[in-house]
């Protein structure tokens, strides 16, 4: 009877579909979150290379366009400092945005489930002080 299509269908429904549905929250907060953190690290590194932050810091005191006069060195230093500041600000905004997305990754399923339970009148969210 192991080759019966009905038994195989039931096994698929209960083991794969319902099992995956029940194990999804566990995956979301364990392996899924670790994968998201890994992607976060990769994207921060990629963004740092795209902004060439290491190159900017390495060439901070090197004059631009081979202008070794004192005015050329001062102008080059000021220009490179300004470029570095704006690129660091861009990197800070990028990291802040990604951290907000990580917080959403953590709290969004809980918020959705609580909202659904509230809509179905199973829980009352008005007991939470900041939701009154």
Residues with Cβ within 8 Å of 103's Cβ and at least 6 positions away in sequence, in order, are none
- DSSP per position, 62-101: SPGGG--SHHHHHHHHHHHHHHHHHHHHHHHHHHHHHHHH
Residues with Cβ within 8 Å of 59's Cβ and at least 6 positions away in sequence, in order, are 80
Per-residue confidence at 43, pLDDT binned at 50, 70, 90?
A: very high
Q: Per the confidence metrics, is the pTM higher than 0.95?
A: no
Handedness of CA 11, 8, 20, 116 (dihedral sign): negative
3-class SS shares of the chain: helix, strand, coil, % to 5: 85, 0, 15
pLDDT score recorded for residue 21? 80
pLDDT score recorded for residue 19? 79
Examine the pLDDT at 84 and tell me if it is beyond 90. yes
């Amino acid at each position: 009877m192991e080759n019966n299509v009905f038994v195989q269908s039931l096994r698929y429904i209960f083991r794969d579909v319902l099992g995956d549905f029940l194990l999804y929250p566990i995956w979301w907060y364990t392996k899924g979150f670790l994968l998201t953190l890994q992607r976060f690290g990769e994207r921060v590194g990629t963004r740092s290379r795209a902004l060439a932050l290491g190159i900017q810091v390495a060439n901070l005191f090197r004059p631009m366009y081979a202008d070794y006069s004192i005015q050329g060195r001062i102008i080059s230093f000021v220009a490179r400092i300004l470029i570095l500041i704006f690129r660091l600000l861009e990197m800070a905004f990028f990291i802040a945005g990604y951290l907000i997305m990580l917080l959403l990754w953590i709290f969004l399923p809980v918020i959705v489930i609580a909202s659904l339970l509230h809509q179905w009148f199973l829980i009352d969210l008005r007991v939470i002080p900041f939701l009154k």
